[in-house]
Amino acid sequence: MRLRHRSGRIVHLGCDLNLPPARDLAALIAQLDTYANAVRARLELDTLAVALRLPPALAALLAANGRARIRLRAALDAHALEVVTLNGVQYDDELVTQSNQPDWSVAARLEYTLDLARILVDLLPGDTVRGTVSTVGLGRRADWDTDRERSCARLLGRLSSGLAEIAWQTGRAVRVGFQPAPGQVLGTAEQTAAALANVDKDRLGICLDLADLACSWQDPADALARLAEAGLSIVQARIAAAVEAADPDQAADALQTYLDDGLRYPVTTPDGGYFDDLPQALGAAAPGPWRIRCPAPLHTAPGSALTATTEVWRTAVRHLMAGDTPATEFIDVAAGTWPQPRPAGDLGRPRGWSADPVTQADAIAAEYSYAHAELTGRGLSPPTAARAA
């Protein structure tokens, strides 16, 4: 969906469906047919922008095979879908944890990101000349050392050169947005500004996940101002909410329902406290309030004694759209990404992605509609009034 900022600039509002990783092109097209098409129909949109997540093997295949890209583009066109962003934060099929994923000291991360950029230029709509790829906030701060930092600097230089070559060959520009998050080298705005001080700021910038921003406990206006002062563009924003427990003791029973051995939910506190996972925070009995990087729905409360960081993402959106021009032209809604809490002890109840396409499509459409209403409430024009950039 395209919305018009009062400056006349177009803001692309996309939907990150958070689909389970598709291991081949046929599986990806089947997912789009099952979920994305259903969401577009529920929203009654002529065209729906979707942010795709492509695992490395599929990305490598698509980047090397022009016929495969044509086939994917044809499937998108057939379902009235368009792609202007690719989500490259999650390297493989671990849906939450980044602990075993290649960081930006490893060449595999560079190769994957450039593969996504090569794919994106062929998927962009015909009237669009730029798009974005999101990626991890360099790497885990606890693992970062001088050797990794030096390797990262070399790889970021190669990333910039690779993006410049793609632009020269295709006439279309792809910018890469690094996603700051607690526990990453890019944690706070101050840490991000320092770590990216010497990068190519024409091609590299920030993907601002608003749930991660909430978990950093930064004031959104201050964080945005610091990034702007450092010359770092918000190449993409992701509307998302995290879970907050004002009193962890009172919320203990509700928090227990989020425990799952397969998922990792970092926990932060206002004084800079950081726990790699929710069980660690519960075991430490750290005083509240807590913010848990467990995705929360935008349009409903997460549960008893828990709240969502709604005001953080609303405040951030307000500041992103408040200027004479939009601070970003690409916004994705992190729809349908929250786990389905189960009653304590009920280990048989499914978690996460719903196996029922109807249920999932309804939930995604509700999230997207909620975010769309927030943006139009900030003065952006409805899609019928928007024109291509």
Is 248 or 339 the better-scoring residue by pLDDT?
248
- The answer for residues whose C-beta is within 8 angstroms of residue 27's C-beta and 6 or more apart is none
Is the model's pLDDT at 342 over the cut of 80?
no
The pTM score is: 0.93
Residue at 18 is within a domain: yes
Model confidence at 100: pLDDT above 90:
no
**Mean of the pLDDT values across residues 143-159?**
97
Beta bridge partners of 248: none
Range name among 52-56, 103-107, 227-231, 341-345 with the lowest pLDDT average: 341-345
Whether 49 contacts 84, CB under 8 Å = yes
The amino acid occupying position 343 is P
For 315-329, what is each residue's pLDDT tens digit? 999 999 999 999 999
Number of alpha carbons in the 13 Å side-chain half-sphere of residue 137: 28
Question: What's the token pair of residue 127?
Answer: 């009237």
Tokens of 293: 């990087």
pLDDT at 230 over 50: yes
Give yes or no for residue 120 having a pLDDT over 70. Answer: yes
CA distances from 254 to 273, 292, 306 (A): 21, 12, 7
**355, pLDDT greater than 90:** no
If you average pLDDT over residues 281-293, what whole number do you get? Answer: 93
Residue 138 within a domain? yes
When pLDDT is averaged across residues 244-249 and rounded to a whole number, the result is 95
Strands (E), 38-186: 48-50, 81-82, 85-87, 130-136, 173-179
Span 9-37, mean pLDDT?
A: 90
pLDDT at 348 over 50: no
Structural contact between residues 29 and 55, judged by C-beta atoms closer than 8 angstroms? no
Least confident of 59-73, 155-169, 268-282, 337-351: 337-351
Per the structure block, which two tokens stand in for 78? 């057939």
Q: Sorting pLDDT into bands at 50, 70 and 90, what band is 386?
A: very low
Percent of the chain residues topping a pLDDT of 70? 90
123, 240, 247, 307, 327 from 310: Cα distances, Å: 32, 8, 18, 8, 20
Tell me how far CA of residue 227 lies from CA of 4, 220, 313, in angstroms.
24, 11, 17
Q: What angle do CA 318, 7, 209 make, to 5 degrees?
A: 35
- Higher-confidence position of 108 and 342: 108
Which has the higher per-residue pLDDT, 381 or 67?
Answer: 67
3-state secondary structure of 345: coil
pLDDT, residue 346, reads 38
Average pLDDT, the chain: 89
Q: Residue 91's pLDDT is what? A: 79
Question: Left (φ > 0), alpha (ψ -120 to 50) or beta: where does 379 sit?
Answer: left
For residue 120, tell me if it sits in a domain: yes
CATH code where residue 181 lies:
3.20.20.150
Give the end-to-end CA distance of the chain in Å, rounded to a whole number: 12
Is residue 134 pLDDT above 50, yes or no? yes
For the beta carbon of residue 147, count every other beta carbon within 10 angstroms: 9
**pLDDT exceeds 70 at position 283:** yes
Tokens of 77: 């066109």
The kind and range of the H/E element at 29 are helix 25-31
Q: Which domain holds residue 328?
A: 2-380
Q: Does residue 19 surpass a pLDDT of 60?
A: yes
Could you tell me if residue 315 is inside a domain?
yes
Q: What angle do CA 380, 87, 244 make, to 5 degrees?
A: 70
CA distances, 320 to each of 102, 128, 225, 379 (Å): 31, 21, 10, 12
Specify the 3-state DSSP secondary structure of 360: helix
Respond yes or no on whether the N-terminal peptide bond of residue 266 is cis (omega within 30° of 0): no
State how many domains the chain has. Answer: 1
Please give the average per-residue pLDDT across 35-64, as a whole number.
93
- What's the token pair of residue 333? 């809604």
Q: What is the mean pLDDT of residues 70-82?
A: 95
